[in-house]
């Protein structure tokens, strides 16, 4: 099999362009059999050739797509352009012993949250009721259910395709007795059907979580429990995103008696923008 360097030389790139292709190679997302790449404008002419070279070098990959927009809209989806291999956006992704059917064009999905999913799932204590307000295809919900066999999880998403896949994934992982997929707006669903039940609430919608704080508190039993609050924080450095994130969290929960138990940086999502998660204890 050809080495990466041999494959690159076939593209007849300048030294600078070869370095840029190296960057693409080291920063793509791999989701099951699908690779999603970002390409700088200077290399757009060679996008198909670059995709083919990547495909040749990653044995498990079957398709390469170009990301042509940021993650956007209510459903947090990115636009994709097919570049090489098989033109199929459905795949199966495995994480922490769980299997997930994912449609990368129709639902949100990021393999970069794997550590955070495991961290939260290990915090769950016996018999907890968890409300996952923004569940996507069921990643957090299913990993929690597999990690703690007594936990019960309401798994809400407003994207019907994410809900459908969550229902498929719940069966695939044999947790249908304890993970309940629900399709709809989290605020409406909680208000009408599952208010005051949860011991813990997950808010993995960092762009907008702050708008849903009252609803998250109302989901808690006796308005007491733990909320995992996600936010995007602008900060000059990663280190400073923690105190700035804590200030943002304090403001978000100022109407409630609360204590921030921990704050951590999940990942950098843009230049000087960090996704943070705060574990917030609420007492009524
Ligand atoms: C950033 S994604 C997170 C998905 C999942 N937790 C994960 O980590 O893969 C946010 C999800 O929230 C859903 N969403 C956005 N607004 C919503 C709302 N008002 N109610 C319920 N779900 C919503 C989107 O469809 C999307 O799937």
Query: Which atom of ligand 1 lies closest to the CA of 159?
Result: 25
Query: Which atom of ligand 1 lies closest to the CA of 212?
Result: 19
**Which of 1.20.140.10, 3.10.129.10, 3.90.650.10, 3.40.50.150 would CATH assign to domain 106-283?**
3.40.50.150
What are 60-102's pLDDT values in tens digits? Answer: 999 999 999 999 999 999 999 999 999 999 999 999 999 999 9
Could you state, in order of their start, the residue ranges of all structural domains in the chain? Answer: 4-88, 106-283
Q: Across residues 216-238, what is the average pLDDT?
A: 98
Does residue 158 have its Cβ closer than 6 Å to ligand 1?
A: yes
- Ligand 1, atom 11, lies closest to the CA of 134
pLDDT at 266: 97
Q: CA 180 to CA 36: how far, in whole Å?
A: 30
The distance of Cα 45 from the centroid of its chain, to the nearest Å, equals: 31
In terms of pLDDT, which residue wins out, 28 or 229? 229
List the 34-37 sheet strands across, edge first.
29-31, 34-37, 63-67, 80-85
46 C-beta neighbours (distance < 10 Å), count:
17
Q: CA 114 to CA 75: how far, in whole Å?
A: 20
Banded pLDDT at 20 (limits 50, 70, 90)? confident
pLDDT at 2: 66
pLDDT at 5: 67
* Architecture (CATH level 2) of domain 4-88: 2-Layer Sandwich (3.30)
């Amino acid at each position: 099999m050809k080495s990466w360097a041999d494959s690159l030389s076939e593209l007849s790139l300048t030294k600078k362009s070869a370095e840029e292709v190296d960057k693409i190679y080291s920063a793509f997302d791999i989701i099951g059999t699908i690779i999603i790449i970002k390409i700088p404008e200077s290399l757009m002419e060679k996008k198909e050739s670059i995709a083919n070279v990547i495909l040749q070098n990653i044995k498990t990959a079957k398709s390469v797509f170009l990301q042509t927009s940021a993650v956007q809209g209510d459903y947090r989806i990115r636009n994709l352009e097919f570049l090489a291999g098989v033109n199929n956006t459905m795949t199966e992704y495995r994480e922490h012993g769980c299997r997930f059917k994912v449609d990368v064009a129709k639902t949100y999905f990021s393999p970069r949250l794997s550590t955070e999913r495991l961290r939260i799932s290990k915090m769950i204590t016996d018999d907890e009721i968890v409300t996952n307000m923004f569940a996507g295809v069921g990643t957090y919900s299913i990993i929690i259910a597999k990690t703690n066999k007594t936990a019960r999880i309401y798994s809400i998403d407003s994207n019907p395709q994410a809900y459908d896949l969550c229902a498929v994934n719940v069966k695939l992982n044999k947790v249908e007795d304890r993970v309940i997929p629900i399709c709809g707006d989290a605020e409406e669903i909680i208000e009408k059907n599952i208010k005051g039940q949860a011991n813990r609430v997950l808010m993995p919608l960092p762009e907008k979580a702050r708008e849903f704080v009252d609803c998250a508190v109302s989901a808690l039993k006796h308005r007491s429990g733990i909320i995992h609050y996600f936010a995007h924080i602008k900060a000059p450095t990663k280190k400073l995103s923690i105190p700035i994130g804590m200030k943002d969290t304090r403001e978000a929960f100022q109407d409630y008696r609360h204590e921030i138990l921990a704050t951590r940086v999940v990942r950098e999502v843009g230049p000087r923008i960090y996704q943070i998660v705060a574990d917030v204890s609420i007492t009524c």
